[in-house]
Amino acid sequence: MQNPLLALFSARRSGDAPRDLAYRADIDGLRAIAVMLVVLNHAGVPILPGGFVGVDVFFVISGFLITGLIDAQAAGGRFTYRSFYLRRAKRLAPALFAMILATLAIGYWLLVPSDYELLATSGVWSAFGAANLFFWLHTGGYFSPDAASFPLLHVWSLSLEEQFYLLWPAVLLMVLRPRTPGLRIGLVAAAVAISVAYDQHGVMVHSKGSYFLPIGRSGEFLLGALTHLLSKPRLANPRIANLLSGLGLLLVMAAALVLNGRSPFPGVLALVPCVGAALILAAPQFGPSLGSRLLATRPFVFVGLISYSVYLWHWPIVSFLRISRVALTPGVTAGIVAASLVLGWLSWAILERGFRGFLDRGGRPALAGAALGGAALLSALATVAVGHGLPQRFPFAMLTQDQLTAERNRYWIALPSKNTTLVRGAGGKQLLIVGDSHAYDLAYALNENGYPGRIKLIESFHECFNFGHQPISPADAPLCAQRLQAVLTSPDLRAADAVYLHDHWGGYDEAGLADMITRLRTVTSVPIYVFGPKMVFTDDVLAISKEAQNRHYATASDINAFASQFQRRELVALDHRLAAYFLARGLPGVRYISTLETQCGAQLACDLLTPGGQYLYFDAGHFTLEGSRRFGARLRRLQPELF
C-alpha cells in the first residue's frame, strides 16, 4: 500500500512553503501516476499487478521535496523544528484522523470482535505514527492472504514517512552539514547503498521487516534526497531532459506492469520505480521535456493535488468490500476508483484545505480544539481495544468458557427429568423418553415449552443404538444389555401414557429396531413415537464459529451459511430411510417423527446461531437451552399432539 503523503509540499497549489520552493506541476502529475497505480492495483485491475510500487515513487518524491524545503529554509535562516513539525501535523492529521474515525464507525457494523479489536489497536498505533511497526508485528506481511482484513494497513507508509520526517531534519542539518556538500552527497549515497543491501537481504530471508521497517525503506527517501543534492542549474539540453523523463516514466510503468505480489520485493527491485521517479525529478534541470509537460497537464495535476486523500480513503473501501466478500468485478472496480476520487476530493477540499485554513487562522484555540478532537478519537479507539472489540455487538462471539461450563453443567447435571417418577393416574400426562444424550435435547424442548405433565428420561448411553438395544462396538455389549433391561423392566414404562424414542442414531439395523419396538410392545400398548436424527456437525460449533470469524463472517446468517459445510449431511439420507421404513411397515401405534424437518424446515436450513446471534449448540451435536427451546417451539407448532 502506498502513500501519497507527498501532496505535502506542492507549494503554490497546496499552500505549503511558497517562499521556499518553486512549484513544479510535474511533481503533482507524478503523484497522480503513483496514487492511481496504487488504487487501480488494489481495486483489482489485472494489468497492473505491480501497482503497489506507487508507494516507492511517493517515498522518492518525499525525500526530494523535504530535503529541498529544509535546505531552502535553513539557507534563509527560517527553519525551525517547531514550525516544520507543526506544518506536517496540520497537513496530515485532520484527514488521517477523519479516515480512522470513519473506519472505526464502519467496522462497528462489519467486523467481528477480534478483527474490531485489531482495527482499534492499529488505529492507536497509526495515530502515533507507528502503523508500520504494528503491521510488521501483527500480519503475515504486506502480500499475505490476511492483508485485506486490515482496513488501516495502508497507513504503514504514512507512518514510515512520519518517522523519516522526525529524524531527517536533524540528520541533514546537524550531521550532514550544508558547508560540506561533497561529503553530504557521498554519505547519502552510501546510506542508500546500505539501505538497499539491507532490504535485499531481508527479501532473500523472507523478512517482513524489509517491507515495513525504516532501515530498509529509508534508502528510497534518501534516493530522493540525493536527487535534490545533485540538482543544480545546468545548460538546457532537451535531449537529456526528454531522455531522463521518458526513461523515468518507462521504469515506473514497467515496474507496475511486470512486478507482482510474488516478486522478491522491495530489495533491489525497488530501485526500478525509485530510479524512475528520481530521473523524472531530475529531468527539469536540463529544461522542459515531453514527459514533464504531460505530467503538468490539468488532469494529472488535479489528481496529484488530492492524491494524499485519495490514498487515505481508497484502501478502507477495498478492505471492507473484501471483508464483505464482494467480488472485484469490473463494475465494482470502477466504483472503487470513482468513490476514491470523490472522497479524496472532498477530503482535500474540507480537511486538507478548509480545516487546515481554520487551524492557521484560529491560532492556539483552534489547535487546542483539534487536539481535543484527536484525544476523543484516541479514547474511542482505546475503548474498543480494551473492550476486546465490543463482543456484545455479536452475541455469537460471547459464549465464554464460564458460559460454556454453565451450559454443560445444566445439560448433564441439572436435567430434572432424570429424577422424575411417573405415576399412572396422578394427573397430567405421563411421558417416558428413552435415548442417549440427544434425548436430553428432546426432554428440555418439551419442558421449556410447557409440556402438560411429567417427563421421565431413561438414558440408554451413546455406546448403544436402537435405544439401548445394540452396542456400537462389541466391547460395549454388556453395557447395552444392562441398559436394555433397565428400560424394559422400569416401572416408568408401565406407568407411561406415551413413549418417545430418540438417540444419535450411531448405527442402523432395521431388524434390531423392529425387535426393540416389539420388546416394548410386550410391556406397554401406549403410543410410541420414534424421533429420527437431528443435525449434528463434524466439529465443535465454537471452533466452526471461530473459523468463520477468522474468515471475516461477521453476521449470524453468514456464519450459518459457512457452518453448513460442517453438517453431517448423511443424516438427511438416514432420516429419509427411516421415514420410508416406518411408512412401509405400518406398525400399529408407532409413528415416526422427522427431527430434521422439525428442526431445520423443509429446506433443511439447520442453523448454528439464531438471527440474534445466540448459539443453538454448545458442542458438535447438543442443543443449548435456547436451541432446545426453539426446537420445542417448532415441535409444538408442527406436532401439537405430542404435547
> Which is more confident, 45 or 437?
45
Q: Give the containing element (helix H, strand E) for 454.
A: strand 453-459
pLDDT confidence tier of residue 188, bands split at 50, 70 and 90: very high
Q: What is the average pLDDT score of the chain?
A: 89
Q: 429, 642 in Cβ contact below 8 A?
A: no
Q: 119, 104 in Cβ contact below 8 A?
A: yes
pLDDT confidence tier of residue 396, bands split at 50, 70 and 90: low
Q: 529, 499 in Cβ contact below 8 A?
A: yes
Residues sharing a CB contact under 8 Å with residue 41, sequence separation 6 or more, in sequence order:
48, 49, 50, 51, 52, 54, 256
Q: Give the containing element (helix H, strand E) for 518.
A: helix 510-521
Q: How many CB atoms lie within 10 A of CB 580?
A: 11
pLDDT given for residue 218 in this prediction: 96
**Minimum mean pLDDT range among 182-196, 325-339, 612-626:** 612-626
- pLDDT tens digits for 581-598? 999 998 899 999 999 999
- pLDDT tens digits for 3-34? 333 333 333 344 443 345 788 999 999 999 99
pLDDT given for residue 422 in this prediction: 84
- pLDDT tens digits for 128-169? 999 999 999 888 788 887 788 899 999 999 999 999 999 999
pLDDT given for residue 399 in this prediction: 60
Domain map (residue ranges) of the chain: 5-393, 397-636
Q: What is the DSSP string of 188-205?
A: HHHHHHHHHHHHHHHHHT
Taking 70 as the threshold, does the pLDDT of residue 41 lie above it? Answer: yes
What is the pLDDT averaged over residues 461-476? Answer: 86
Let me know how long the chain is: 643
What is the pLDDT averaged over residues 507-511? Answer: 89
HEC secondary structure over 116-181: HHHHHHHHHHHHCCCHHHHHHHHCCCCCCCCHHHCCCCCHHHHHHHHHHHHHHHHHHHHHCCCCCH
**Minimum mean pLDDT range among 397-411, 477-491, 502-516:** 397-411
- 139 vs 123: CA distance, rounded Å: 15
Give CATH for domain 397-636.
Answer: 3.40.50
pLDDT given for residue 258 in this prediction: 97
Taking 80 as the threshold, does the pLDDT of residue 192 lie above it? Answer: yes
What is the pLDDT averaged over residues 423-433? Answer: 85
Beta-strand relationship, 498-502 and 590-593 = unpaired
What is the pLDDT averaged over residues 81-99? Answer: 93
